[in-house]
Amino acid sequence: MELPKKYFEASNSFFLVYLQVIILLSYCNLHGLNMLCLATKSPVIRGNVTDQLALLQFKAKITGDQLKIMESWNSSSHFCQWRGVTCDRKHQRVTKLELQFLKLSGSLSPYIGNLSFLKGLNLANNNFYNQIPQEFGRLRRLETLELSNNSLSGEIPSNLSACSMLTFVHMRSNQLKGEIPASLGLLSNLIHLRFYNNSLTGSIPPSLGNLSSLKELHLALNGLTGNIPETLVRLTNLSFFSIGGNAIFGIVPVGMFNLSSIRVFDIGGNKIQDEDFSCLSFIWYPVPDAKRKTKFYRNKKIKIDSVRQNERWHFFKGIDPTTRKKRQI
């Protein structure tokens, strides 16, 4: 006797419903929830498990926490309420991680790369060490990367170029080595690029001339060599250019003098061949204030005792307030 076809269909439907109930019960037990969760309209699980796990992995890499910041990172509160964490309201996803000036030490967890909604990462002025994880290149929404004044070593991850939304990249005063990745020239939204006071070598990548939005390029106090790339004359928005304290040689591209936005131009302490600029040890100022007897740089006043002009540029020798020695051109 054959069983009706509808009998098999009903049996299959019952089995699927049964299987779904078993999975849901397992999920509730796994997360410590009770059956009331089936009757509520709003989900009991808040936020995103992936983000929470990424933050806990970040915490696990912290080896020093003098101010006990990480003590607030526990199950008694939602991770969006943890110190330094900002989430968006709609999705409860982490958009900012700001832990600057908190005396934290440790290495950087690669799990930060799982914070796929992250727009701002600020870990400046701590004591993070070891390498910058390659997984940072997965942060496709990242706009600000601030890692200055730490003890980070290794090379600059070349795949940061995949973070196409980046506008600020600050890694000054670390122990970074190797070359500046040419791929950074793909970051068309970049406004500030600061790598000064590291141990970088190689030449300035010509590809940086593609950064049409760039306003600040700060590469001073490294071990860079080679010429100033001719492509940098295309940086029409550039207002701050500093490569002092390297071993850069050759001549200054003529087009650099036509960049109308430039306010700070530091090539001192290199091997520049131009006779007029070979001993230029600090900075050039634009002419509009040529009649003033004082100039300001980094909030330090420099008294000018000799001035000469060349078109829109203002060349001078002055007194460096830090060494009280005259600077010559």
pLDDT, tens digit, for every residue of 17-43?
344 444 444 444 444 444 333 333 323
pLDDT band at 269 (very low <50, low <70, confident <90, very high): confident
Specify the pTM. Answer: 0.75
Percent of the chain predicted with pLDDT > 70: 69
Q: Do 157 and 137 contact (CB within 8 A), yes or no?
A: yes
Residue 60 has pLDDT above 90, yes or no: yes
Range in 59-73, 77-91, 115-129, 257-271 with the lowest mean pLDDT: 257-271
Q: Mean pLDDT: which of 21-30, 43-52, 122-131, 259-268 is highest?
A: 122-131
Give the integer Cα–Cα distance in Å for 91 and 284: 49
Mean pLDDT, residues 237-256: 93
Q: List, for residues 152-182, the tens digit of each pLDDT value.
A: 999 999 999 999 999 999 999 999 999 999 9
Whose tokens are 């001549």? That residue is: 251
Structure confidence at residue 25 (pLDDT): 44
Structure confidence at residue 276 (pLDDT): 56
